[in-house]
Amino acid sequence: MLTAFAILTDGLVYAAYLFIVAIGLTLIFGVMKILNVTHGSFYAFGAYGAATAVGIYANADWPAALGFLFMITLAMLVGLIMGIILERGLLRLVYGKDEVVIVLVTYATFLILEDVIVLIWGAQSYAAYQPMVAAGSIEIGDLVLSNYDILLVAIAVVLAALAYWALKYTRQGRLLTTVIFDRETAAAFGINVTLVYTATFVIGAMLGALGGAVMAPKISVTLGIGVEVIVLAFAVVAIGGMGSIEGALIGALIVGICRAAAVHLAPQIELFVIYGVMALVLVARPYGLFVRAQPRKI
């Protein structure tokens, strides 16, 4: 019973993390049809930015409660700047090329940014545990839960609700939906697709950085953290269906629970569970759970 409860809570926390990193990736893919490998860099920069922010904050004599907000704001600012520079400076030049070629462009950018991290922050790792410690923990029965983990789940829920509301009930969201559905027709109806692209990419970048920022207190911020994120986020997004927000949510939940179950019941298969689930889903539904079959254009 305790194990089942532990699996459920661990799974939810992991799913929250996966959803936060996957939503930016799926948004950019849905609108721009770009699989953005640089998302891993956004995550890494977000985490490093947050670690720096926590460092500054711990030295200054400010109230502890605001530290978390300061950390998130700084990380998202990093994401904003990187998003604008990349979209306007580079991606704009390669729109219209093969999807795979654009993946390679983002891959090349990812490689460059990995070394930029070394240039800015050096090769040592950073710890940013203060917010996690400050948040404390609660006990439910025999199980100790960190308040920070609960906050993480809350952030994921808020993000999901916000995305749902923005896409369904705001003017900009409706415009975005038309672009997702058919870019050319949307442009023909006078929607400024260029602007939508830039906005989407920047929002996606900020979400990636946010993912890094909220995870920074839980992990050791070190080189190479961006890589794992790309593969994980892709697995989540592929299960749910590329470009689908609700798909990312369901994908994150499936992967999160399965991984937690593996960690508690059979730790040695933890690494393959995610890919195993992905392979199973894709065998049954080749393009993910939430994507309709596309008619092939001749």
Partner 1 sequence: MITREKLAGGLAFLFAAAAAPLAPEWVVSLATIAFANALVVLGLVVLWRTGLVSFGQALYYCIGAYTVALIVRWSGFTDAFALVALGGVGAGIVAALVGFLLARYREIFFAMLSLALSMILYGVLVKTETLGSTDGFSVSTPSFLGYRPHGEALGLSLYWFTLAIDAVAAVLVGAYFRSVAGSLATPIRDNEIRVEFLGVSVTRIIHTKVVIAGVLGGLGGALAALTIGHVDPAMSYWTTSGGFVFVTILAGAGSVAAAFVGSLVFEMVRSFAVDIMPGLWQMVLGSVLLLTILFLPDGLGSLVARLRKREEAKP
| First CA to last CA distance, the chain | 55
Cβ distance 15 to 155 under 8 Å? no
Q: Please, which residue, 148 or 234, has the CB nearer to partner 1?
A: 234
Q: Please, which residue, 181 or 272, has the CB nearer to partner 1?
A: 272
Q: Please, which residue, 4 or 231, has the CB nearer to partner 1?
A: 231
**What is each CA distance from 29 to 8, 69, 78, 245, 249, in whole angstroms?**
30, 28, 21, 11, 15
What size, in residues, is the chain? 298
Q: Measure the CA–CA gap between 131 and 125, rounded to whole angstroms.
A: 17
CB of 246 to partner 1, least distance (A): 20
**What is each CA distance from 138 to 10, 146, 216, in whole angstroms?**
15, 6, 21
CB of 111 to partner 1, least distance (A): 3
CB of 109 to partner 1, least distance (A): 7
CB of 97 to partner 1, least distance (A): 8
Count Cβ atoms below 10 Å from residue 24 Cβ, excluding itself.
Answer: 29
Three-state SS across 166-197?
HHHHCHHHHHHHHHHHCHHHHHHCCCCHHHHH
Q: Please, which residue, 171 or 296, has the CB nearer to partner 1?
A: 296
CB of 174 to partner 1, least distance (A): 27
Q: Please, which residue, 123 or 144, has the CB nearer to partner 1?
A: 123
Q: Please, which residue, 171 or 297, has the CB nearer to partner 1?
A: 297
Q: Please, which residue, 213 or 225, has the CB nearer to partner 1?
A: 225
Residues forming a β-bridge with 143: 140
Cβ distance 211 to 253 under 8 Å? no
CB of 105 to partner 1, least distance (A): 6
Binding site for partner 1 (CB under 8 A): 35, 90, 93-94, 97-101, 103-105, 107-112, 114-116, 118-119, 123, 227, 231, 234-235, 238, 242, 268, 271-272, 275, 278-279, 282-283, 286-287, 296, 298
Q: Measure the CA–CA gap between 96 and 197, rounded to whole angstroms.
A: 13
CB of 269 to partner 1, least distance (A): 9
**What is each CA distance from 272 to 76, 232, 286, in whole angstroms?**
32, 11, 19
